[in-house]
């Protein structure tokens, strides 16, 4: 996965960790000056059950929406983007 580009914007540097529904990576944002580092959270559920997949997607989207609404608080990570991409 290292050096892969997600969303046409985020170059994956390395894997940070993961759980049952996704993986987290350190990346650099190629669209911002200086290509600052950021964290990319990728939804990758371990199930193929349609109901579970839809539930995971809804929870993932809800987390992103909450981060957008919270804006820029110094104790909460700023959400740069939220997108869906074919694997």
Domain with residue 33: its CATH number is 3.30.200.20
Query: In total, how many domains does the chain have?
Result: 1
Residue 84 lies in a domain: no
- Among 61, 3, 6, which Cα is nearest to 31's? 6
Residue 87 has pLDDT above 70, yes or no: no
Beta bridge partners of 24: 17, 41
Q: Per residue in 22-72, pLDDT tens? A: 888 999 999 999 999 999 988 888 888 999 889 989 998 998 898 888 877
pTM exceeding the 0.85 threshold for the entire prediction: no
Measured distance CA(43)–CA(40) in Å, rounded = 10
**Domain coverage including residue 62:** 5-70
Quick one: 9 exposed, middle or buried, by C-beta within 10 A (0-12, 13-18, 19+)? middle
Residue 15 has a pLDDT of: 94
Measured distance CA(82)–CA(87) in Å, rounded = 15
Residue 85 lies in a domain: no
């Amino acid at each position: 996965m290292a050096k892969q580009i997600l969303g046409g914007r985020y170059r994956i540097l390395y894997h940070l960790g993961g759980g049952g529904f996704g993986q987290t990576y350190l990346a650099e944002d190629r669209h911002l000056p200086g290509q600052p580092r950021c964290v990319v959270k990728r939804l990758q559920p371990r199930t193929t059950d349609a109901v579970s997949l839809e539930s995971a997607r809804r929870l993932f989207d809800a987390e992103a929406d909450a981060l957008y609404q919270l804006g820029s608080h110094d104790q909460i990570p700023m959400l740069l983007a939220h997108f869906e991409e074919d694997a």
